Chain A
Amino acid sequence: MADLPERRACITGIGQSKVGRPSSETPIRLTMQAAREAVADAGLTMADIDGIANYPMKTTEGGGISPVGVGEAMFALGIDATWIGSSTHEGPGHMGAIFQAVMAVATGLCRHVLVFRSVAQAQARLQARGSTLLGGSRGRVEGNNAWTVPFHAISPANMWALYAQAYFDRYGASSEQLGWVAVNGRRNAALNPNAIYRNPITIDDYMASRVISSPLRLYDCDTHIDGCTALVISCADAAMDLRNQPIRIEAMGMALGGIGQGIHTGDFTALPAGRAGDMLWSRTDLKPRDVDNAQIYDGFSILTLLWLEALQLCAPGEAAAFVEGGTRIALDGELPMNTGGGQLSGGRWHGFGHTHEACVQLWGRGGARQVAGARLSAVCNGGYGYGALLLRTD
Chain B
Amino acid sequence: MTAPPRKLPVLDDLSGFFWTSGADGVLRVQRCTACGHWQHPPLPSCAQCHADDLAPQPVSGRGRVKTFTINRQAWTPGMAPFTFAAIELDEQAELYLFSNVTGDPEAVRTGMAVEVTFEQQDDVWLPLFRPVEAAHG
A positions within 8 Å CB-CB of B:
130, 133, 135, 140-142, 146-155, 157-158, 161-166, 169, 210-216, 261-268
Contact = CB atoms under 8 A, between A and B. Distances in A.
A335 to B, nearest CB: 28
Q: Most chain-A Cβ atoms within 10 A of its Cβ — which of B15, B96, B126?
A: B96
B73 A155 contact: yes
Given A130-B75, A141-B9, A268 B98 contact: no
Interface of B: 3-4, 6-10, 12, 15, 41, 66-73, 75-76, 79, 82, 84-86, 94, 96, 98-100, 110, 124, 126, 128
A49 B115 CA distance: 60
Nearest to B96: A264
Nearest to A151: B100
Contacts of B9: 140-142, 146-147, 149-150
A147 B98 contact: yes
A158 B3 contact: no
A146 B124 CA distance: 12
Contacts of B70: 211, 213-214
Contacts of A142: 9-10, 12
A211 B41 contact: no
A169 B66 CA distance: 10
A158 B69 contact: yes
A133 B75 CA distance: 8
Nearest to A142: B10
Contacts of A268: 66-67, 86
B110 A169 contact: yes
B10 A151 contact: no
Contact of A166 (B66, B72, B99): B66
B38 to A, nearest CB: 13
A98 B8 CA distance: 36
A219 to B, nearest CB: 13
Contacts of A162: 67-69, 84-86
Contact of A266 (B3, B15, B72, B94): B94
9 contacts: A149-B9, A150-B126, A155-B71, A162-B68, A166-B66, A210-B72, A211-B72, A213-B69, A262-B98
A262 B41 contact: yes
Contacts of B82: 152
Nearest to B126: A150
B8 A152 contact: no
Given A211-B72, A213-B84, 12 more contacts: A133-B75, A149-B7, A151-B84, A152-B3, A155-B73, A161-B69, A162-B67, A162-B84, A162-B86, A212-B72, A213-B71, A214-B71
A216 B69 contact: yes
A152 B67 contact: no
A150 B70 CA distance: 16
Contact of A214 (B69, B98, B126): B69
Given A150-B126, A151-B100, A165 B10 contact: no
Contacts of B15: 146
B47 to A, nearest CB: 8
